[in-house]
Structures are given as C-alpha cells and as structure tokens.
C-alpha cells in the first residue's frame, strides 16, 4: 500500500495497426501529490493526449496502470473531469444546461433542485460567464465556450482536473485571463491538475512541476522540472525574474536541443550526436 495520491505506474500502451502493434508510450512513471499542478509538455504526436486519456480512463494501458487514492483507474469517473481542447459542449444545450447536465450526473442524490441551480450558476460565475449562461455554443465565442467547458469540469468538483491544451485556441489576452482564473480557482479548491500545453510560459507560470516527454514512438518522461516560484505568481513581475527565465530556458533546451522536433527528421542526428547535444557539446540553434 502507498499513500500516494495519483500514480502512473509503468504505463505502456500499444495500438494495433495493420503492420503490427505500435508502441506509443513506454514505461511512464509519475507520482502526483494532491493539489499539485503538473504540466505535460512535448512535441506534437509524442503521446501527451494518450497519457491524459489513460488517466481519464478512456484508454486502457497495455501494461502498467493508474492508481488514484489507492484505487485502480479502469473507466472514466466524475472524480476525474476532462477539459478537451475543442470544447466539447453539446450544441443544442445552453451554457447553463451544459453545466447542469454534469451537475445532475454528480449531485442528483445529494443536492436539491434549488441547490443544483445555485451550484450551476456559481460555477458559471467563477469563469465569468453569468451574463451569457442562456446562450448556446454557436452564439458565443471560442474563448467563452472554453470557459463553459472549464465551468462544467469544475462543477463536478473533481479530485483531478485533466486539461488537454485547454487554452490552445484562444487569443493571447483571453488566454492570459483564463490562466489567471485557473490559478485562482485551483488555489481555492486545491484540485490536482494535469494540463497539456505547448506554451512554455504557460507551463512555467502555472505548474509545480513540468513533465517533459521524449519524442515518440515509445515515448516516456525525459525529464521533470520542479518550478519553485512562490505563489501567487504575477505574470508581469515574472517577465523580469531571473529564476522564471531560467525555468523557461530549461524547458526550451529540452524541447529544441535534447528532443528534436519530429519535422526535423530529415536532418536527424545520429545517436552519438544526440548524446553530445544532450551534454551540451553541440550547439543546436533553436527554431
């Protein structure tokens, strides 16, 4: 027995293909503390969404598995809410009704109708969507839809919040606003968060740890960066902060020196070169 909160233990996964099994993840091991904010970063196609889908219970690991509070994850559950990249709201329901559906799923037996109504409104308020709660997805912007998706996830009071590039499609200002509200909400509720991102600044600003994945196939965790910046974190103050910039540079080095982008395959370095690069002997220009 272990008193760990969320454990990914020797997780490997293979998908069947016409030319035989395709190994996407190989021996991923990660222990996450309750209330911890972990970002997953890595080049496109390395297997980040696959990791999240396994924790969500949507994919089953071929070997190894995920344990949440002592119980193996075998299927999706409301204690692990997912926010997808492409805000998966039901198009025929209003923002309010989309959140209400999730609230009913979790609280039908424990909250009264009036309490559920209040809870739906409270969560829409958290993401500043009260003014548009009776609009349907096609009547609101992408940023607003994403906020409703986050409200829906939060309203389930999940122990674990799983987010797959949640702000990827947003403009810079909306993205900054959403990051700030996420920091605020997570500090208040102390959920455990796993967030996939492509954005190095976002990863450093939000995370307690940044998990950096190697390129696939058979991807695994290449390195983990502990971000020990005091909270609350202020994005403007951090822009000039030496420690912040050090963390940022560490992630960039991992992505552009230690792990080549898949598109760079034509000039793929030999194994010996890659080792030299990792040791800092060869200077590779970042893209």
Ligand X SMILES: Nc1ncnc2c1ncn2[C@@H]1O[C@H](COP(=O)(O)OP(=O)(O)O)[C@@H](O)[C@H]1O
Query: Token digits for 64?
Result: 């190894």
Q: Which is nearer to ligand X, 24 or 103 (CB)?
A: 24
Q: Kindly indicate which of the ranges 37-45, 91-99, 179-187, 241-249 contains the residues binding ligand X, using the contact rule CB under 6 A.
A: 37-45
44 binds ligand X (CB under 6 A): yes
Give the closest residue to 194 by CA, choosing from 80, 38, 48, 61. Answer: 38
**Binding of residue 137 to ligand X (CB under 6 A):** no
**Contacts to ligand X from residues 91-130, by CB under 6 A:** none
Strand order in the sheet with 63-68: 20-32, 6-17, 63-68, 71-72
Position closest to Mg ion via CB: 49
Site for Mg ion, rule CB under 5 A: 49
Instruction: Kindly indicate which of the ranges 44-52, 93-101, 183-191, 245-253 contains the residues binding ligand X, using the contact rule CB under 6 A.
Output: 44-52
Residue of 6, 24, 41, 148 interacting with ligand X (CB under 6 A): 24
Smallest distance from ligand X to CB 251, Å: 15
Q: Report which DSSP code applies to 1.
A: -
Residue 7: beta bridge partners? 31, 67
Provide the minimum distance between the beta carbon of 194 and ligand X in the complex, in angstroms, as a whole number: 13
User: Can you tell me which of 46, 82, 103, 133 binds ligand X, judged by CB under 6 A?
Assistant: 46
Which residue lies nearer to ligand X by CB, 18 or 230?
18
Task: Find the shortest distance in angstroms from Cβ 44 to ligand X.
Answer: 5
Please report how close the Cβ of residue 161 comes to ligand X at its closest, in angstroms.
17
Q: Are 98 and 147 in contact (CB under 8 A)?
A: no
> Measured from the CB of residue 167, what is the shortest distance to ligand X in angstroms?
15
Residue 193, classed as helix, strand or coil, is strand
49 binds ligand X (CB under 6 A): yes
In this structure, are residues 49 and 15 in contact, taking their beta carbons and an 8 Å threshold? Answer: no
Query: How far apart are the two ends of the chain, measured CA to CA in Å?
Result: 46
Please state, in angstroms and rounded to a whole number, the distance separating the CA atoms of residues 35 and 231.
Answer: 14
The tally of CA atoms less than 13 A away on the side-chain side of residue 15 is 9
Handedness of CA 88, 162, 43, 50 (dihedral sign): negative
Q: Judging by DSSP bridges, how do beta strands 20-32 and 160-164 pair with one another?
A: unpaired
CB of 7 to Mg ion, least distance (A): 22
Which of 10, 15, 104, 105 forms a contact with ligand X (CB under 6 A)?
15
* Interface contacts to ligand X, rule CB under 6 A: 15, 24, 42, 44-50, 216
């Amino acid at each position: 027995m272990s008193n760990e909160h969320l454990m990914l233990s020797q997780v490997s996964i293979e998908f069947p293909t016409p030319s035989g099994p395709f190994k996407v993840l190989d021996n991923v091991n990660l222990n996450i503390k309750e209330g911890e904010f972990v970002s997953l970063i890595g080049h496109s196609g390395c297997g980040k969404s696959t990791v999240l889908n396994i924790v969500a219970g949507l994919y089953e690991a071929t070997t190894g598995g995920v344990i949440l509070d002592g119980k193996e994850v075998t299927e999706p559950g409301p204690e692990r809410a997912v926010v997808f990249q492409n805000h998966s709201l039901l198009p025929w329901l209003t923002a309010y009704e989309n959140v209400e559906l999730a609230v009913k799923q979790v609280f039908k037996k424990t909250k009264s109708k009036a309490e559920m109504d209040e809870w739906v409104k409270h969560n829409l308020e958290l993401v500043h969507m009260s003014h548009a709660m009776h609009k349907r997805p096609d009547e609101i912007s992408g940023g607003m839809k994403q906020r409703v998706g986050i409200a829906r996830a939060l309203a389930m009071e999940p122990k674990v919040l799983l987010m797959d590039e949640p702000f990827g499609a947003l403009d810079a200002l909306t993205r900054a606003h959403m990051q700030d509200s996420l920091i605020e909400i997570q500090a208040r509720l102390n959920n455990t968060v796993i967030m996939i991102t492509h954005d190095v600044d976002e990863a450093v600003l939000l995370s307690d740890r940044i998990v950096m994945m190697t390129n696939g196939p058979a991807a695994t965790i290449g390195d983990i960066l502990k971000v020990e910046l005091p909270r609350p974190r202020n994005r403007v103050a951090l822009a000039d902060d030496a420690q912040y910039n050090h963390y940022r540079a560490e992630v960039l080095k991992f992505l552009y020196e230690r792990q080549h982008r898949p598109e760079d395959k034509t000039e793929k370095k030999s194994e010996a070169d890659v080792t030299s690069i990792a040791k800092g002997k060869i200077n590779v220009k970042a893209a």
